[in-house]
Amino acid sequence: MDVNNSNFRQLMPDIISSIKNSSFVAIDLELSGIHKTFGPRNAPLNRKQTLEERYQEVKTAAERFQVLQLGLCAVSYDEVLESYICRPFNFFVNPNSEPKFGLDREYVVQASAIGFLLESGFNFNSTYTSGIRYLSRREERYVIERENRLAQELKEDIHIDDASQQFVQDFIAEIQEWVDDPNPTFDFVNISTVGQGVNSYQKRLIHQVVRKKFPHLQTLGRPTFVQVIRTDPAAEKMKRDERRARFETDVERGIGLRHIIEALFASQKPLVGHNLFTDLINLYECFIGPLPSTSKEFAHVIHEDFPMVIDTKFIATCDTETATYGSNLQGIWDLLSAQDYPAVGLDIGYTRYLTSRLAHEAGYDSYNTAQILIRLVGRYQAYLNHQQAKNGDPESMAIKHLLDYLHRLDRFPLADHRIDIPKRFPSLESDFWKTFSNKLRVNGTLEGLWVLGK
């Protein structure tokens, strides 16, 4: 389902409910650029990077590039249908913020990344015309601090030039006469000039002088004059409260897409992605705030927010022999799509991807990631059950058969066509998942793996 700035507020409760009621959530991001290990600005390392070097490289890229599209697929199991039901959402992300917040984001566009997205049919106009705005946690703090400062800050005094001295003396006298009158005709006095009104400079002088010489009075700017009234403490408080309420409403709306990110974090549902290392770093930098200084610190932070993270790329390359094999998202799905079980379906109202193949649209890729997890684990479980009655290590043999199948080696198990694939994989709370969870594949690094919680 496409979610844009015109339907976001209406759909937001349903999206948040989908996250809360899901078994797991799959995500995908499309970015304005990605990290480059080699290039004109980087001399070849002539060796594999360490995991920490890769983290620093991706962190630097995340600070420069922009999230253009967010895909999120909430998945739950239907006991009656015996099927996993998917609700995929596709969000365009608008990098602009409300002008009133005083923010003006700057980000870099990488030519190769933009060219790739254009070839995939990405609509950049939609990013700005239909995209959903947001404030990160860091930006929200800045906006609130700015408002607090402005609410308490007095305007700097301006110099009263010689030509305005008489004007100032005249309106002071006029105000003083009104103040001293025990029965004034009106409960206000309007300061202007005969037949000409007052210009912006003169208005500023009136506000400034009254604030200093008549602190018990209040000035109200009007198009051609300034009105002076007696201060009403209750009315002043009401005015301040109304301004604060308007501001808080503006901030709540300005948070925009981050409401969905906060719901995702608050749910602590198992988070699934393909090549999730890069997406997690960019998601955090865009919607939360500054990234931790080291990969170890970031692993700890993410593990606190998401106790279970599953990288389908790791499952597809979960031993050293196959770690460098091709494992792109679409290629894996092409292989698994003919598999009948566990069954996967789209919920009513979320059928946009039923007949459309929209690779590199974030919503579609998050949906494919969810399907891949379900089918991969179903197949692994079938191999595991098949090996239980045999001698040896059934887990290792099941993984071997799974990876042989994925990488189309000449060692397909003879019983492959007869394996009984279950209709549902084990509970995400079970020990079954220890083999596959909280391990993220990071190809091209010495470690090859990023382990959360350490």
What is the pLDDT at residue 112?
Answer: 83
Three state DSSP letters for 274-307: CCHHHHHHHHHHHHCCCCCCCHHHHHHHHHHHCC
Going by pLDDT thresholds of 50, 70 and 90, the confidence category of residue 76 is: very high
Residue 260, Cβ density class (10 Å: 0-12 exposed, 13-18 middle, ≥19 buried): buried
User: Which of 201, 204, 196, 209 is closest to 170 using CA atoms?
Assistant: 209
Going by pLDDT thresholds of 50, 70 and 90, the confidence category of residue 241 is: confident
- The sign of the dihedral angle between the CA atoms of 60, 63, 66, 71 is positive
What is the pLDDT at residue 97?
Answer: 86
Where in 116-265 does DSSP place strands (E)? 188-191, 217-221, 226-230
What is the pLDDT at residue 39?
Answer: 40
Mean pLDDT of the 308-332 span: 80
Q: Name the phi and psi angles at 190, rounded to 5.
A: -100, 125
pLDDT in tens, 168-225: 999 999 999 999 999 998 999 999 987 788 999 999 999 999 988 998 898 888 999 9
pLDDT in tens, 140-167: 999 999 888 877 766 678 889 998 999 9
* DSSP assignment of 14-64: HHHHHHHT-SEEEEEEEES----SSBTTB---SSPBPHHHHHHHHHHHHHH
What is the pTM assigned to this prediction?
0.81
Q: CB neighbours of 316 closer than 8 A, spacing ≥ 6?
A: 322, 327, 332, 372, 376, 403, 406
Going by pLDDT thresholds of 50, 70 and 90, the confidence category of residue 4 is: very high
Residue 312 · residue 318 · CB < 8 Å: no
User: Which of 255, 243, 311 is closest to 288 using CA atoms?
Assistant: 255
Mean pLDDT of the 326-348 span: 86
C-alpha–C-alpha distance, residues 300 and 233, integer Å: 51
Mean pLDDT of the 379-394 span: 83
pLDDT in tens, 91-126: 999 998 888 888 888 888 878 888 878 877 778 888
Among 77-81, 322-326, 338-342, 443-447, the minimum mean pLDDT is found in 322-326
Q: CB neighbours of 43 closer than 8 A, spacing ≥ 6?
A: none
Q: Reply yes or no on whether the pLDDT at 324 is more than 50.
A: yes
Residue with the bigger pLDDT between 358 and 337: it is 337
C-alpha–C-alpha distance, residues 342 and 379, integer Å: 9
CA distances from 79 to 18, 123, 442 (A): 17, 38, 36
Q: Would you say how long the chain is, in residues?
A: 454
Share of the chain residues as helix, strand and coil, in percent rounded to the nearest 5: 45, 15, 40
Percent of the chain with pLDDT over 90: 51
Residue 433 · residue 422 · CB < 8 Å: no
Residue 135, Cβ density class (10 Å: 0-12 exposed, 13-18 middle, ≥19 buried): buried
C-alpha–C-alpha distance, residues 273 and 13, integer Å: 23
**How close are the terminal C-alpha atoms of the chain, in Å?**
37
